[in-house]
Amino acid sequence: MASITITPWRNQNELLNVRDWLFPRNSNTKPQTKRKACSQIQAWKLRGGLPHAIESTWYITEAILTDSIQDSGISALAKRACYCTGLCRFVTGLVDSEQDSKHKVSMYEKAKELALPASFVELRHESIHGELPSLVVLRQAAERALNWLWNDYWRHLGDDDLGELDASSFNHRHNTRRDSLRAILQTYLTAYREAVKVSDYKLRSRLVETTALELLEACRTNVQASKELVHILVDECMIFGDIESQTMNDLYVLWDQLLLRLAESQGQVLALLTDNMIARLVAPRKSDATEDAIQERVLLWLTQVFTAETWKKAARQAKLDDMAVVSTCLQNPNLCSIGLATAIIKSSRSNVARNLYGPLVAEAEGRLEGAQSELLEDDEHNAADTGHLSDGWQRSNAVLGKPIGVL
């Protein structure tokens, strides 16, 4: 006898319509479409039996929509709380639903079994037991969570072949657009370097203008293109150059005017650019010399954007909140993030901001300097206690005066 499955949606077409509203093929789709999808899912929730993947997509999408409202009066804390609610329910519901009541394992182990990145479990832990993560971190986590839900659940609805075709088609358009943007930038770099060599300032200005117009046209016709452009500039390290052969002065000459032209014409590009760089700045530092050098260049670019007089107008137009950046840096302290916070406070014209955040930044700076001093002292002690030979380490000749355990 055939089993009956009761679903909150009337038929498969209704479910697929909601999927298309949530993950539109046309990236210019208005937010109202996603709000319509959220309202439909809310109705399904009342009927019961709503799958966890759909509910999680709803909560995370609601958080993104709430965050996207301009001048709404919603505080940054409220937005962070919305994101944390959606992301925590996503992780907890997914992991707990797959637990065996008799043989429970840790969330990390179960997440690994489900191919869920451990960073989501860490974010959940931090949200519940520590400080709420910054908006920059939460925005990126929300995007990654929706991508994971698409690949794990939504793309497999209905005809599996169609789902694979849709994803493949999306990836093809995604890669083609990125290749086109990359080609525009590479052409600009080659021509601009030649113009610099011959000191042709008029040609340099024309190259900035024509390249900016090409990129702006791509970003105006396709919202996703702005994200692609920022990915190339930051994630592919194009504006950070070659660590060995290029100085920051070289990079300022090549990129500053073009980035400023883009920022003044389209604030969304500047907002995405700074969000991406801040996320990279506050990320845990790896013990890698190249990565350290890149992070320092991220610091210098952000300092340029937030403190240079030439960038003030673009920053105002993009509605960049420099004190929110300082707050993010204080929540994720490292040498570079506190360096940025210090630079912003010193350049701020607001006495309230300096009085409120100045002492906090100075305190964080002092803690980092203290930690650095302790590390140096430990290194000196280790060097004194341990002999070093050309072919390796040897045991210290010092003899312990007392047996282990004797005070």
DSSP 241-298: --TTT--HHHHHHHHHHHHHHHHHH-HHHHHHHHHHHHHHHHSPPPS-HHHHHHHHHH
Say what the pLDDT of residue 333 is: 87
Mean pLDDT of 313-321: 89
Task: Calculate the average pLDDT of the chain.
Answer: 82
Cα 65 from Cα 33, distance rounded (Å): 11
Which of 106 and 346 is assigned the larger pLDDT? 346
Find the farthest-apart pair of alpha carbons in the chain and give their distance in angstroms, rounded.
83
Confidence of residue 123 (pLDDT cuts 50, 70, 90): confident
Q: What percent of the chain has pLDDT above 90? A: 39
Say what the pLDDT of residue 166 is: 43
Say what the pLDDT of residue 102 is: 66
Mean pLDDT of 183-206: 92
Between the ranges 83-87, 96-100, 323-327, 333-337, where is the mean pLDDT highest?
Answer: 83-87
Say what the pLDDT of residue 279 is: 87
- Quickly count helices (H) and strands (E) in the chain: 17, 2
Per residue in 337-354, pLDDT tens? 999 999 999 998 888 888
Q: What token pair was written down for 266? A: 């389209």
pLDDT for 400 beyond 70: no
